[in-house]
Structure 1
Amino acid sequence: MIVIDGRAAARADLGGVERWARELTGRLPARFPGAYRVDAPPAWMAHRAGHLWEQTWFPLRAARDDLLLCPANLAPLASRRVAVILHDAAVLRDPGWYSPAYVRVQRFLLPRIAARADRVLTVSDFAAAELRELLGVEAAVVPGGVGEAFVPDADVGAGRRAAGLDDDARYVLTVAARTARKNLAALQVAARRLAAQGVEVVAVGGDRPQFAAEPAVPGVRHLGPIPDAALPGLYAGAQAFVLPSRYEGLGLPVLEAMACGTPVVAAAAAALPETCGDAAVLVDPDDHVGFADALESVVAGPEPWRARGLERVRGRTWDATADAVDAILRSP
């Protein structure tokens, strides 16, 4: 039996790590009946209080020969029969992106988890190189997928209503928590120039206490979190999608945007060039004018980028990701 740690899947807020956890906890037991079960704490323990559950109760509930699959960076130190998905090494690469308390905990846990795990998986070649350099561990690479709801004909009206946008709103979208690592300040010039053309830059995502916050960016309208079901329509209705982040282990939102037929502009940093390939316009994360130029260009001429994006995500499904994870976990 492989027991999946469902703590991250129980969280109300949704980031890339939570998306991975939800998809694997839902798909692995369904695709491989009898091989997997999910164990999760009560919802109130999904965040900080859940560390105690994850380090004690979760491994105690597993049988001696069970393998524990931990899809969200952390795993119980007491168990050596663990497979862990480490999504990146951002907290080790630049601790300034996080709160001091979070850095202390992660710097204690991550090296020990990586050293004791039976299997380590990660989400991109870039992330694998980071884990090799910063933790001295070799990780199997399994890229994430795109959910079935992310399609060009997603319900645009529902997405706009959930975000509080007018039915005829023209906007460029970014999906990112308001944190320093996401580098939303790079969009200030773009926001000013696009506003003159009747296009607003809007950001979806909440605030997370473990991250160093980024001040509000003039011209960028922060909408806060929206229901997950409304996200495909919000992508599909956008004139373009932009992710200026300085560090991503994979960058799932760019794939989701591409699947919705939305042109993508992204930072030429970390895993984003690997994830985007030639299907997005890539810009130096410090080039604020470059982001403005790129966004004006794709808003004016989106069709080539729509076609490239749809081709880029062809076959990128969460079922394929689940199958690849299963093959690694059950290999000799």
Structure 2
Amino acid sequence: MRIAPVLIDARAAARVELGGVERWARELSVRLPALHPERYAVARPPAALAHRAGHAWEQLVLPASRAGRGARAILCPANLAPLASRHNVVVVHDVAPLREPAWYSSLYVRWQRIVLPRIAQHAALVLTPSAFSRDEVVELLGVATDRVAVVPGGVDDRFTPAADMGPARAACGLADRPYVLTVASRTARKNLGVLDLAARRLAARGVDLVAAGGDRPQFRNEQDTTGVRPLGHVDDALLPGLYAGAAAFVLPSLYEGFGLTALEALAAGVPVVAADRGALPEVCGRAAQLVDPTDAEAIADALERALDDPAPWRAAGPQRAAPLTWDATARRVDALLAEVIA
């Protein structure tokens, strides 16, 4: 691997499943080198080291490599970074394991409590996707406000109301009935159990409530939902059409550092019902209905309003999402990295 001023840690980009952290890693590891090929090199481990087994690669191999030793900054887009380096620029998406440890496995919480404050405090710069996450980093990780920069995530131009919904409907068995969509892993913080009432009321209208997303081993799973139909992992190529074909989108999360799936739904012109917590109000603004995620009745009511009068929400979503592109994210990260390496 060649030596460049900035080395991108693409461990999260090597993962098969796709969440917000993985999306950030994939987008930045492609778009930053496209902006300035001479400025960036990408370090990507074998797929077998993308998860827990890759901690040793990230902590030991990456900073000790020729490219790691020669770089003036190591960009780590997925919360963690090599402790041995003092040249890290790390994206901390949220600090939920410290805020709500009951949502995670005890081993994962212990690891995060040990490494996350040290990584953040010793980083050359910390990036967060929202002002909400910035405030969490300052409060829970002890980082000075002037060492944290907010860089919102983005959405690419595949996510549009015109996306072809046919392949997604066919692959997911959604050809016959309208559906309301959520895209979220089956974890406690995503709070999908609160959707059972909405699922029953939607079923009475001939509408399915479906959930795309799998499990995460480091997160505690919530109890199974009885009315929400699980789609499991949906291939990334099918996601734009899956959003575009939905009658509405719902995200009842108890905590989000950004809420990338809500932004993707807005870009697709889908009426969005989202929790009024975390960074979701910051991301959605007035383009979505924001409700108490613990109030099942309020969520069901909001979804029925969205189905009864979707036009205002379908118009508002793409306008809200338009400035938040991955190209804009990459340009902002690039500008901050240029300051760091200067």
For 2:127, the aligned partner's letter is L
User: Who is 1:101 aligned against?
Assistant: 107
Aligned pairs, number = 331
Selected match of 1:156 from 165, 170, 173: 165
Secondary structure in 2 matching 1:162? helix
User: Who is 1:67 aligned against?
Assistant: 73
Selected match of 2:96 from 74, 90, 94: 90
Q: CA deviation at 1:229?
A: 0.4
* C-alpha contact (below 8 Å) 1:71/1:85 kept by paired residues: yes
Deviations 1:178-232 (A, max 9, x none): 0000001111110000000000100000101100101111110011001000000
Selected match of 1:7 from 11, 14, 36: 11
**What is the rounded CA distance, in whole Å, between the counterparts of 1:300 and 1:168 in structure 2?**
20
Deviations 1:266-311 (A, max 9, x none): 0111111111100000110111000000000001110000111111
Is 1:212 the counterpart of 2:220? The answer is: yes
Moved over 3 A (4+): none
**What is the rounded CA distance, in whole Å, between the counterparts of 1:86 and 1:240 in structure 2?**
30
Question: Identity, % of aligned pairs?
Answer: 61
Secondary structure in 2 matching 1:172? strand
Is 1:45 the counterpart of 2:49? The answer is: yes
Secondary structure in 2 matching 1:261? coil
User: Who is 2:296 aligned against?
Assistant: 288
Secondary structure in 2 matching 1:330? helix
Superposed counterparts of 1:149-188, under 5 Å: 149-165=158-174, 167-188=175-196
Superposed counterparts of 1:296-307, under 5 Å: 296-307=304-315
Secondary structure in 2 matching 1:159? helix
* C-alpha contact (below 8 Å) 2:29/2:42 kept by paired residues: yes
User: Who is 1:132 aligned against?
Assistant: 138
Secondary structure in 1 matching 2:61? helix
For 2:83, the aligned partner's letter is L
* C-alpha contact (below 8 Å) 2:130/2:258 kept by paired residues: yes
* C-alpha contact (below 8 Å) 2:6/2:71 kept by paired residues: no
**What is the rounded CA distance, in whole Å, between the counterparts of 1:323 and 1:141 in structure 2?**
13
Secondary structure in 2 matching 1:38? strand
User: Who is 2:153 aligned against?
Assistant: 144
**What is the rounded CA distance, in whole Å, between the counterparts of 1:162 and 1:32 in structure 2?**
38
Is 1:113 the counterpart of 2:122? The answer is: no
Q: CA deviation at 1:315?
A: 2.1
Per the normalisation by structure 2, the TM-score is 0.95
**What is the rounded CA distance, in whole Å, between the counterparts of 1:65 and 1:36 in structure 2?**
9
Q: CA RMSD in A?
A: 0.9
**What is the rounded CA distance, in whole Å, between the counterparts of 2:157 and 2:323 in structure 1?**
11
* C-alpha contact (below 8 Å) 1:246/1:269 kept by paired residues: yes
Superposed counterparts of 1:271-282, under 5 Å: 271-282=279-290
User: Who is 1:22 aligned against?
Assistant: 26
